[in-house]
Amino acid sequence: MNLALDTNAYREAADGKPRTVELLRRADEIHVPFVVLGELRAGFASGNAGKKNAAQLTDFLGSPRVSVLLADEQTTHAYAVLFAQLRRQGTPIPTNDMWIAALAIQHDLPLLTSDRHFSHLPQILIL
């Protein structure tokens, strides 16, 4: 199984949450959207254990099973479709999460997350 990883799921894994750790162990490929890296690093910069957390993230990213998903022109099309859909539904979600969702859709990846607002996007398989 391949999956995209949301910020909260990374934090859950770092905290040792069994279900999240097991899903990551079983994954063949783990794709980290660039936005997730930004959110994590912003948290590290404002926290007390920034160097330790940054080192753990560097180790995680060094795994051959882990890659970073970057936005490209195709991503902007997926983002636009999601934006319009969420607006029509009256269920907006945070901008960063729309980028994460757009990348998951673009790359046809299930999303490992505990954020409930992704449930407004039935086209994404939530793990």
Of the candidates 9, 115, 37, the one whose C-alpha atom is nearest the C-alpha of residue 45 is 37
Residue 125, in any domain of the structure: no
Domain annotation covers residue 60: yes
Pick from 12-16, 48-52, 109-113: least confident = 48-52
Model confidence pLDDT, tens digit, residues 97-108: 999 999 999 999
Torsion angle of the four alpha carbons 20, 23, 24, 27, in this order, in degrees rounded to the nearest 10? -160
Please report whether residue 101 resides in a domain.
yes
Number of independent structural domains in the chain: 1
Would you say the pTM of this structure is higher than 0.85? yes
Show the domain range for 28.
2-120
Query: Which pLDDT score, from 0 to 100, does residue 5 have?
Result: 97
The answer to whether 19 touches 114, Cβ cutoff 8 Å, is no
Domain assignment present for residue 32? The answer is yes
